[in-house]
């Protein structure tokens, strides 16, 4: 059942519509049983003026003051909580690339939850039954597998890939291009780096970005810093507070500042 009583607002250069107005424009595809708050708003057009529909599956919920951009699909039983932003096009300069505000396709899988206050950019895919915590930020091109939990106030930068059944604890930063395989555990407050030379704004040099990789089943304790190009191997364990400057072999235990291997992982 849908409740439509909001009035249209101005949203920068794009027109913001209520669910009823979006429906009348032929841009809302809502299945039976979808519930959309009367305070939710929709931005079907991107900065280039291209309009895309919004699809809401059976039993899905969109909360009050959520902002849903064109090109978004919310699977059955998915939930977008209050004040979340989903499908936001990227506009402006970022690490050697200028984004022109073009929209795209944003997929929120069946049963997935985007908690209140989160921001999900365009071209993001959130897997089935995955939960994105309060105030999290998922930048353009991020893909997340099924049954994964992302903690609150977590930042996942552009084009990162996160597998299935992953746990990323609150307050961490995953740099652009990070690769996380299935069943990885990352503790709270982890920082990752992908730029060895810190030249991201140098007009004469394009940065060469090499993000860290976490292989299947790896576990990294809270407060670790993982530097450019490092691979944490399958089922390896990195102790809390470590500075990881080199690869950690599979099934080993590493810790320290800088981290060194101290035997096999338990």
| Residue numbers of the domain that contains 60 | 1-159
Indicate whether 217 pLDDT > 80. yes
Question: Which tens digit of pLDDT belongs to each residue from 16-58?
Answer: 999 999 999 999 999 999 999 999 999 999 999 999 999 999 9
Q: Are residues 23 and 148 in the same domain?
A: yes
Q: Are residues 103 and 8 in the same domain?
A: yes
In percent, how much of the chain has pLDDT > 70? 92
pLDDT of residue 96: 67
Question: Which tens digit of pLDDT belongs to each residue from 226-252?
Answer: 999 999 999 999 999 999 999 999 999
Indicate whether 9 pLDDT > 50. no
| Beta-carbon-side half-sphere exposure of residue 14 (alpha carbons within 13 Å) | 23
Is residue 132 a part of any domain in this protein? Answer: yes
Q: Are residues 135 and 5 in the same domain?
A: yes
- Report the CATH number that the domain containing residue 259 is assigned in CATH: 2.160.10.10
Is residue 68 a part of any domain in this protein? Answer: yes
Is residue 40 a part of any domain in this protein? Answer: yes
Mean of the per-residue pLDDT values for the chain?
93
Q: Which long-range contacts (CB under 8 A, 24 or more apart) does 205-208 make?
A: 206/96, 207/95, 207/96
Is residue 254 a part of any domain in this protein? Answer: yes
Domain count, the chain: 2
Is residue 173 a part of any domain in this protein? Answer: no
Mean pLDDT of the region 88-101: 84
pLDDT of residue 94: 75
Mean pLDDT of the region 146-175: 98
Q: Are residues 194 and 255 in the same domain?
A: yes
> Is the overall model pTM greater than 0.85, yes or no?
yes
Is residue 110 a part of any domain in this protein? Answer: yes
Is residue 79 within 8 Å of 120, Cβ to Cβ? Answer: no
Q: Are residues 203 and 260 in the same domain?
A: yes
User: What is the Cα–Cα distance from 185 to 169, expressed in whole angstroms?
Assistant: 8
Q: Are residues 199 and 254 in the same domain?
A: yes
Question: Which tens digit of pLDDT belongs to each residue from 121-147?
Answer: 999 999 999 999 999 999 999 999 999
Degrees to nearest 5, angle at CA 175 with 143 and 111: 30
Mean pLDDT of the region 164-179: 97
Q: Are residues 15 and 68 in the same domain?
A: yes
Indicate whether 61 pLDDT > 70. yes
Indicate whether 1 pLDDT > 50. no
pLDDT of residue 97: 76
Name the one residue in this structure whose structure tokens are 């101290």: 262
Is residue 33 a part of any domain in this protein? Answer: yes
Q: Are residues 151 and 197 in the same domain?
A: no
Is residue 207 a part of any domain in this protein? Answer: yes
pLDDT of residue 233: 98
- Report the CATH number that the domain containing residue 97 is assigned in CATH: 2.160.10
């Amino acid at each position: 059942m849908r409740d439509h009583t909001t009035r249209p607002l101005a949203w920068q250069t794009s027109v913001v519509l209520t669910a009823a107005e979006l429906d009348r424009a032929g841009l809302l595809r809502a299945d039976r049983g979808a519930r959309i708050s009367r305070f939710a708003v929709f931005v079907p057009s991107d900065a280039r003026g291209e309009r895309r529909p919004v699809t809401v599956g059976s039993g899905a919920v969109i909360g009050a003051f959520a902002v849903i951009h064109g090109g978004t699909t919310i699977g059955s039983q998915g939930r977008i909580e209050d004040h979340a932003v989903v499908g936001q096009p990227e506009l402006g300069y970022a690490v050697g690339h200028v984004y022109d505000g073009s929209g795209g396709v944003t997929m929120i899988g069946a049963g997935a939850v985007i908690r209140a206050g989160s921001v999900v950019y365009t071209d993001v895919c959130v897997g089935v039954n995955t939960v994105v915590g309060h105030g999290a930020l998922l930048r353009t091109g991020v893909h997340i597998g099924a049954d994964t939990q992302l903690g609150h106030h977590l930042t996942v930068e552009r084009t990162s890939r996160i597998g299935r059944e992953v746990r990323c604890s609150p307050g961490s930063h995953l740099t652009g291009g990070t690769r996380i395989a299935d069943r990885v555990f990352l503790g709270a407050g982890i920082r990752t780096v992908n730029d060895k030379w810190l030249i991201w704004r140098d007009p004469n040099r394009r940065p060469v970005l090499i993000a860290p990789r976490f292989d299947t089943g790896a576990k990294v304790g809270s407060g670790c810093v993982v530097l450019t190009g490092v691979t944490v191997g399958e089922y390896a364990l990195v102790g809390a507070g470590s500075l990881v400057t080199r690869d950690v072999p599979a099934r080993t235990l590493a810790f320290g500042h800088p981290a060194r291997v101290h035997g096999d992982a338990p």
